[in-house]
Amino acid sequence: MNLSKMAENKPGKLYIGTSGFSNSSWKGIFYPEKTKSADFLAYYATQFNCSEINSSFYNFPLAKTVEKWNDVTPDDFAFCAKLHRSITHFGRLKTPEPKLEEFINRFAPMQKKLKQILVQLPPSLKFEPEIVEAFYDALKPYQSEYNFAVEGRHLSWFTDESFYLMRENNVTHVIGDAGKFYVGYQEVTTNTSYIRMHGRIKLFASSYTHEELDEYAHLIAEYLREGLEVFLFFNNTMYEAALENAFYIREKIKGLLK
């Protein structure tokens, strides 16, 4: 694939982090033992340059919460917020406008740091062109300021027609790695690659081997050389695997780019 058609031929930006930062079981392993939960993000931001926000899938965040997230992180820190389930799971992408507007308004205090809005879909949601086109049309008023990435989990999302609509509407395809649980396809539809590592043997828990991570490191290094912006998140956060995997692949990619 000639990626340079979608990205300028200059080194791309790499963002690596975990799917969330509020895991209390990481105290003493990642966070210093005496760190208060209110200070987790400030410390996290000294180790990683981005984080997914999973809590926004369940609840619309309070303005004061978003303001704090913005205030305790560096200017070049990135957030990727998961779109609320009222749109993706309950509404199943139909008539998203009211909730979408509310969701985006909640994140206004961190506009520049909100690099991607993650549209994670349920495995039962099939790709239906008319519904998807209408959903993408609903995104258009916000796309001058926000980027959207879609993680389809039903096989019907991994088709030429689906990828074509993503490209036509400047929507990023999410590469989801979850082993046998659902298939991910290494397809690029914008000048961004968004990769989520969920764990292959046990979802949200299993660690990746160095060999498995090395494969992704080579792929990501290629993307970066072609000028793509890459977001890589480890969602195997139940234990410390996400941390170990993230630190390992970051160093591996650095070595490949020397």
Single-letter code of the amino acid located at 33: E
Closest CA to 217 of 161, 188, 255: 255
Q: Which residues pair with 82 in a beta bridge?
A: 118
Q: Using CA of residue 181, residue 198, residue 97, residue 135, what is the dihedral sign?
A: negative
pLDDT in tens, the chain (258 residues): 445 455 556 789 999 999 999 999 999 999 999 999 999 999 999 999 999 999 999 999 999 999 999 999 999 999 999 999 999 999 999 999 999 999 999 999 998 999 999 999 999 999 999 999 999 999 999 999 999 999 999 999 999 999 999 999 999 999 999 988 877 889 999 999 999 999 999 999 999 999 999 999 999 999 999 999 999 999 999 999 999 999 999 999 999 999
51 closest CA partner among 237, 179, 184: 237
| SS3 of residue 53 by DSSP | strand
The confidence score (pLDDT) of residue 181 equals 84
**pLDDT score at 145:** 96
Distances (CA, A) of 44 to 7, 36, 48, 182, 235: 30, 12, 6, 30, 15
pLDDT computed for residue 238 by the predictor: 94
Alpha-carbon distance of 77 to 99, in angstroms, equals: 26
| pLDDT tens string 186-221 | 999 999 999 999 999 999 999 999 999 999 999 999
Enumerate the β-bridge partners of residue 172: 149
Q: How far apart, in whole angstroms, are the C-alpha atoms of residue 159 and residue 87?
A: 23
**What size, in residues, is the chain?**
258
Question: How many whole angstroms separate alpha carbon 237 and alpha carbon 243?
Answer: 8
Q: Where are the alpha helices (DSSP H) in 110-155?
A: 129-139
| Distance between CA atoms of residues 171 and 1, nearest Å | 18
CATH number assigned to the domain covering 11-257: 3.20.20.410
What per-residue confidence (pLDDT) applies to 7?
53
